[in-house]
Amino acid sequence: MTDTWRGRAAAVATLTFDVDAETPILAHGRRYARHAMTMSHQAYGPEVGVPRLLDMLDELGVPATFFVPGWVAEQRPGLAAGIVERGHEVAHHSYSHRAPTSMSEKEERADFERALEVFARQGIEISGHRAAMWEATWFTAELVAEHGLLYDSSLMADDRPYRLSTRSGELVELPVHWSLDDWEQYAFLPQPHVGSVIEDPRKVESMWRAELDAMRHYGCLFNLTSHPFLSGRPARAMALRRLVEYALGCGDVEFLRCRDLAARAGRDAALSPREPEPPSVDADVYPVE
């Protein structure tokens, strides 16, 4: 093994699953708790999708990272521990799945720390974080570093890992992108409106395979985000399985848990730290707040 984040692989793949369950819908309004169809649509994720995907990962012999909101872990005791027992990582995905950009710094901190408390009570080691909806603020990375986590996975400034330097210390960013998220491909609900397209899983598989091949060429991080209530559905799970089988057959793709990749990237001297800060915006040029 070399001292770089990729090791000897052409590309590194991180399979990540956001186990949101009911939280993204409740974040639109707690009134949706009265909608039995909507709540059952979301509950499918932890109740059916997660077990199906865990079995698939076992059969393929690849590790994954499951980003779990604290509320979901609290409502379903044993869910997070069951994922860890299968050899995978559980990571922080807020408490409520409310976007940090909709909160004050005080509210973001309270939500963040409430999730940490849930995982601490359950004995779950937390190394990384992903903001709800990926809507991190400029304060988010500092908050993650302050609590001693190794990495964040919410930003989009690269297609390779990079290091973030904050006032609370340094952490690794494992960047994401909409093109590698199943939400844009499969999410559909009439109320609240969260998406209106249901793509053919074969088309999605082809698109993700093309992205993987390009990332093998350029030496990138294939950071795939899936949701068990979406990709846990049968045809979609089979498409994901075929994608992983293809990657394994390439012979130059390494699958890692996010925490393992972050630890490796943290040791990579070639990754120069970046300081997350907003652009300077002239009110005369952009008068609308």
CA gap 152, 253 in Å, rounded: 22
Neighbours of 157 (CB within 10 A): 10
Which residue's entry shows tokens 């649509």? 41
How far lies 59's CA from each of 56, 72, 182, 222, in Å? 5, 26, 22, 21
Dump pLDDT digits (tens) for 46-81: 999 999 999 999 999 999 999 999 999 999 999 999
Domain-embedded: residue 36: no
Question: What's the whole-number mean pLDDT along residues 29-47?
Answer: 98
Q: Strand (E) positions, 6-148?
A: 11-18, 65-68, 89-92, 128-129
**How many domains, in total, are found in the chain?**
1
The answer to the question of residue 132 being in a domain is yes
For residue 156, being part of any structural domain is answered with yes
Q: Give me the percent of the chain exceeding a pLDDT of 70.
A: 99
User: Cβ(56)–Cβ(245) under 8 Å?
Assistant: no
Q: What is the per-residue pLDDT for 64?
A: 99
CATH number reported for the structural domain that contains residue 155 in this entry? 3.20.20.370
The string of pLDDT tens digits covering residues 214-232 is 999 999 999 999 999 999 9
Indicate the burial class of 285 (C-beta count within 10 angstroms; 0-12, 13-18, 19 or more). exposed
Location of structure tokens 């012999």: 61
Give the pLDDT confidence of 126-179 residue by residue, as tens digits: 999 999 999 999 999 999 999 999 999 999 999 999 999 999 999 999 999 999
Report if residue 287 sits inside a domain. Answer: no
Residue 177, in any domain of the structure: yes
Average pLDDT score, the chain: 97
Residue 2 has pLDDT above 80, yes or no: no
- Residue 282 within a domain: no
| Domain-located, residue 1 | no
CA distance 24 to 30: 10
pTM listed for this prediction: 0.97
Domain of residue 20, residue span: 11-30+43-274
Residue 110, domain member (yes or no):
yes
C-alpha span between 14 and 256 (Å, rounded): 6
Radius of gyration (C-alpha) of the chain in whole angstroms: 18
Residues 221-264: tens digit of each pLDDT: 999 999 999 999 999 999 999 999 999 999 999 999 999 999 99
Q: How far is CA 90 from the centre of its chain?
A: 10
